[in-house]
């Protein structure tokens, strides 16, 4: 089971306190850490059970993922070749940057 949750309400500030109870409900003995990303229109939380779960916010894009990519180095090189200024220190940041560059076609 994934440990990702979120709230989407357009044009509304969603505070950390609204997401934390959901993340707490996802807690399990195998959880390694938690993160909560409050925000405007979208807030997310992750109760990490493995390294493939993460959240990131790059520019105007907010993302919560549970993904294992095999071609991370290739995708990072692609972004570097296209002069993206967004940091890509995590897979979540890399995917958000790809979305900024290519839109839904990044998939």
Give the mean pLDDT per block of 10 residues along the chain (107 residues). Answer: 87 95 82 84 87 84 88 88 75 91 89
For the stretch 15-24, pLDDT in tens is 999 999 999 8
Is residue 100 assigned to a domain?
A: yes
Residues 34 and 5 in one domain: yes
Tell me, what's the pLDDT at 43?
93
Tell me, what's the pLDDT at 31?
66
> How many domains, in total, are found in the chain?
2
Is residue 61 assigned to a domain?
A: no
Residues 44 and 83 in one domain: no
Is residue 41 assigned to a domain?
A: yes
The model scores a pTM over 0.75: yes
Q: Which residues contact 8 (CB under 8 A, 6 or more apart)?
A: 41, 42
Residues 73 and 102 in one domain: yes
SS3 83: coil
Domain hosting 99: range is 68-107
The Cα–Cα gap between 36 and 46 comes to 7
Residues 45 and 81 in one domain: no
């Amino acid at each position: 089971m994934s440990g990702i949750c979120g709230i989407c309400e357009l044009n509304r500030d969603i505070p950390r306190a609204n997401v934390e109870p959901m993340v707490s409900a996802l807690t399990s003995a195998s959880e390694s850490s938690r993160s909560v990303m409050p925000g405007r229109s979208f807030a997310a939380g992750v109760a990490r059970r493995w390294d493939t779960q993460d959240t990131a916010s790059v520019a105007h894009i907010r993302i919560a993922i549970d993904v294992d990519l095999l071609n991370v180095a290739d995708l990072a090189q692609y972004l570097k070749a296209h002069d993206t200024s967004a940091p890509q220190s995590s897979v979540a940041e890399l995917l958000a940057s790809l979305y900024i560059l290519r839109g839904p076609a990044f998939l």
